[in-house]
Amino acid sequence: KNEVEQSPQNLTAQEGEFITINCSYSVGISALHWLQQHPGGGIVSLFMLSSGKKKHGRLIATINIQEKHSSLHITASHPRDSAVYICAVRSVAGSQGNLIFGKGTKLSVKP
């Protein structure tokens, strides 16, 4: 079983829809990251959080440490939001260097 599970694997939405991507993990963590990978391949860090909620523009990330679950929300989605969204956790038990990555959620927003 993967230590970081994302759902859904693929998501198609219409422009303007509210989108939620989920991430569940099975290890104790010190931080959770949400990353965005555009079709060109580059990876950009969106959020790093260890508790509560963070907001940046139309993106909101929440984490529930007790339930070992995080969500990434996109409000008023736009075609430029089309990308793969990756959840990654830094395990408290892991080696210093290692983030554990989910497989990603591929989002396609149609105009």
Partner 1 sequence: NAGVTQTPKFQVLKTGQSMTLQCAQDMNHNSMYWYRQDPGMGLRLIYYSASEGTTDKGEVPNGYNVSRLNKREFSLRLESAAPSQTSVYFCASSAGQGVEAFFGQGTRLTVV
- Among 16-24, 26-34, 55-63, 70-78, which window interacts with partner 1 (CB under 8 A)? 26-34
* Alpha carbon distance 75, 109 (integer Å): 12
Using the rule CB under 8 A, is 48 a contact of partner 1?
yes
Give the burial class of 74: count Cβ atoms within 10 A of its Cβ; 0-12 exposed, 13-18 middle, 19 or more buried. buried
Q: How far is the CB of 6 from partner 1 (least distance, A)?
A: 9
Q: How far is the CB of 61 from partner 1 (least distance, A)?
A: 13
CA-nearest of 74, 2, 67 to 34 is: 74
Sole binder of partner 1 in the list 40, 67, 93, 111 (CB under 8 A): 40
Sole binder of partner 1 in the list 27, 31, 60, 65 (CB under 8 A): 31
